[in-house]
Amino acid sequence: MPDQSAPVTRIAPSPTGFMHIGTARTALFNWLYARGRGGKFYLRIEDTDQARSTREATDAILRGMRWLGLDWDGEVKSQAEGAARHAEVARQMLAAGTAYKCFSTQDEIAAFREEARAAGRSTLFRSPWRDARPETHPDAPFAIRVKAPQSGQTVIKDRVQGDVVIRNDQLDDMILLRSDGTPTYMLAVVVDDHDMGVSHVIRGDDHLNNAARQMLVFNAMGWDVPVWAHIPLIHGEDGKKLSKRHGALGVEDWQKAGYPARAMLNYLARLGWSHGDDEYFTMHQALEWFELDSIKKSPARFDTKKLASLSSQHIAAMEDGALIEEIAAYLAVNGWPALTAQKNAALQSALYCLKDRARDFGELLEKAHFVLTDKPIDPDEKAQKALDPVSKGILSELTPHLRNDSWDRDTLEGIVSQVAEAHGLKLGKLAAPLRAALAGRSVTPSVFDMMLVLGREETIARLEDASSR
Ligand code: GLU
């Protein structure tokens, strides 16, 4: 038996493009709130606007949710499929007198607004049919409108914003069912939230005004109003509302950029919510800590540097298996070829010296170049410069020593230091040519780690190649 007091939340994205990071953050907050309390978390695709909704956008949302590991209960719900139920509720409201038939045509409504504007009055449409007696109804198409209160005020008790007061004379009699029989989005949201048993609506504060109008339907139907928590939108580093100017907005773009899902989750959780001074944490901790009361009232600013810093900490802490899996997904989402089983095994053996200080998978793979590439090593321009004739001579002196002694870090350090000293050089002076010979790159793990990972045969072969070229 589910706990009756456990919360039920949902994420209700409109599938009209990519999955916005704001949507991902809202999903995360809802997920944390429900999952941390043994509740339910649902995914509802708000596809009532058939002209704007696309299958691709829904797929992008599902991919984003799966990448982040935000699992939902039951099936994905399509709002459009509930149209008959939504219409039924509109008709129930009609029968109960909390809604009415409005026969005003588009032209009449436009004329009303024009006149109101000219006279300097509110352009909020006031239907002449609100109190019309049924005998006066024409035999013509009609919309069903809610009978909203016209005086007094509506108070939204919001867990983030506090009490938000909306004057009722600012609410119009919104349409519930259009004259073509299709339900409006505003009606559909309320019916779905009620039917799904949603107890807490956590969403962007751009929906705060909608809450006042949606409450009309909850009240008219005698349904429990959910707990509202409207969270401030995410802003860019300049304090302006996040937009394309600020860089990538899609969740998938951040996956493509090589950030692990757990770093993204950690970062998104910190966007507008905090637990003391904790910056780095796991989802396990966030599940324990998440509270609506610690959501901030002011907009959070997206800070790519902070994300990169969290990402580096998560990469360093990740288990090898999880890293290998996420790197495979990173390659796939970028449309790059997968690693062969052999390369994957080589990469895995090197992870211990690659994990530290990689801000993203791109950086990690760049450092992994030495295990992912095959002989003969093709040095890049910078590495090529390190392979001058003197250095090549020294490298060739190294190989005989490497053949006999044991293959461990201390021995290798001893051999390289000895050869360096014989030439009056510091050990560090040999690092660049060794990196160039072993990896063909200048940014690599330590040369001793590379030697240990590559093994004796491969190391010697690469040194010989470099010194004879
Ligand atoms: N479909 C809305 C959106 O994508 C969310 C509505 C809601 O959460 O109530 O912004």
Q: Quote the radius of gyration of the chain (alpha carbons, Å).
A: 31
Residue-number span of the structural domain to which 102 is assigned: 81-231
Q: Which atom in ligand 1 lies closest to the alpha carbon of residue 193?
A: 9
**CATH code where residue 404 lies:** 1.10.10.350
Q: Is the peptide bond before 376 cis (omega within 30 degrees of 0)?
A: yes
Residue of the nearest CA to atom 3 in ligand 1?
Answer: 13
* 8 A C-beta contact, residue 377 and residue 465: yes
Element housing 469 (H / E): none
**C-alpha dihedral over 181, 185, 187, 193, to 10 degrees?**
130
The pLDDT assigned to 34 comes to 98
Cβ neighbors of 22 (< 8 A, separation 6 or more) are 204, 233, 234, 242
User: Residue 244 catalytic?
Assistant: yes
CA distance 46 to 40: 19
CA of 392 to the centre of ligand 1 (A): 64
- Asked if the model's pLDDT at residue 401 lies above 80, the reply is yes
Q: How, if at all, do strands 234-235 and 227-231 pair?
A: unpaired
CA distance 379 to 443: 12
Element housing 166 (H / E): strand 162-167
- Asked if the model's pLDDT at residue 342 lies above 50, the reply is yes
CA of 250 to the centre of ligand 1 (A): 17
417-454: per-residue pLDDT in tens?
A: 999 999 999 888 899 999 999 999 999 999 999 999 99
- Asked if the model's pLDDT at residue 50 lies above 70, the reply is yes
**C-alpha dihedral over 274, 280, 282, 286, to 10 degrees?**
-10
Whether 301 is in a domain gets the answer: no
Catalytic residue among 147, 157, 244, 256: 244
268-308: per-residue pLDDT in tens?
A: 999 999 999 999 999 999 999 999 999 999 999 999 999 99
Name the 3-class secondary structure at 141.
coil
CA distance 114 to 121: 10
CA angle 177, 183, 189 (to 5 degrees): 120
The pLDDT assigned to 43 comes to 98
pTM: 0.93
DSSP 202-216: EEEGGGHHHHHHHHH
End-to-end CA distance of the chain: 73
- Asked if the model's pLDDT at residue 1 lies above 50, the reply is no
CA of 210 to the centre of ligand 1 (A): 10
* 8 A C-beta contact, residue 438 and residue 451: yes
Write down the H helix ranges in 168-270: 185-195, 208-221, 251-256, 261-270
Whether 249 is in a domain gets the answer: no
Q: Is the dihedral of CA 458, 464, 467, 469 positive or negative?
A: negative
Token look-up 């994420």 returns 11
Q: Which atom in ligand 1 lies closest to the alpha carbon of residue 10?
A: 8
Residue of the nearest CA to atom 7 in ligand 1?
Answer: 12
| Single-letter residue type at 424 | G
Whether 71 is in a domain gets the answer: no
Q: How far, CA to CA in Å, does 431 sit from each of 62, 121, 122, 404, 416?
A: 47, 79, 76, 22, 9
Boundary of a domain, candidates 199, 231, 263: 231
CA of 448 to the centre of ligand 1 (A): 54
Q: Smallest Cα–Cα separation from 184: which of 73, 74, 61, 93?
A: 93
Whether 349 is in a domain gets the answer: no
Residues 232-257 as b/e (b if ≥16 CB within 10 A, e otherwise) read bbbbbeeeeebeeebeebbbbebbbb
Whether 462 is in a domain gets the answer: yes
CA of 12 to the centre of ligand 1 (A): 5
Sheet of strand 200-204: strand arrangement: 162-167, 153-158, 227-231, 200-204
Whether 276 is in a domain gets the answer: no
Whether 386 is in a domain gets the answer: yes
* Domains: count for the chain: 2
* 8 A C-beta contact, residue 21 and residue 250: yes
Residue of the nearest CA to atom 2 in ligand 1?
Answer: 13
348-394: per-residue pLDDT in tens?
A: 999 999 999 899 999 999 999 999 999 999 999 999 999 999 999 99
Range of weakest confidence among 155-164, 315-324, 397-406: 397-406
217-248: per-residue pLDDT in tens?
A: 999 999 999 999 999 999 998 888 888 777 77
| Single-letter residue type at 134 | P
| Model confidence band, residue 2 (pLDDT cutoffs 50, 70, 90) | very low
Q: Smallest Cα–Cα separation from 317: which of 271, 266, 251?
A: 266
| Model confidence band, residue 4 (pLDDT cutoffs 50, 70, 90) | low
**CATH code where residue 189 lies:** 3.40.50.620
Boundary of a domain, candidates 171, 201, 231: 231
Boundary of a domain, candidates 231, 246, 262: 231
Whether 348 is in a domain gets the answer: no
* 8 A C-beta contact, residue 98 and residue 291: no
Q: Which atom in ligand 1 lies closest to the alpha carbon of residue 214?
A: 9
Element housing 370 (H / E): helix 369-372
- Asked if the model's pLDDT at residue 23 lies above 50, the reply is yes
178-216: per-residue pLDDT in tens?
A: 999 999 999 999 999 999 999 999 999 999 999 999 999
Q: Which atom in ligand 1 lies closest to the alpha carbon of residue 11?
A: 8
DSSP β-bridge partners for residue 153: 167
Give residues (CB < 6 A) around ligand 1.
12-14, 46, 189, 203, 207
Name the 3-class secondary structure at 100.
strand
305-331: per-residue pLDDT in tens?
A: 999 999 999 999 999 999 999 999 999
Which residue among 189, 193, 200, 209 has the greatest number of ligand 1 atoms within 8 angstroms of its CB, and so is best to mutate?
189
Element housing 124 (H / E): none
Token look-up 């606007």 returns 49
Structure tokens at 275: 């637990």
409: left (phi over 0), alpha (psi -120 to 50) or beta: alpha
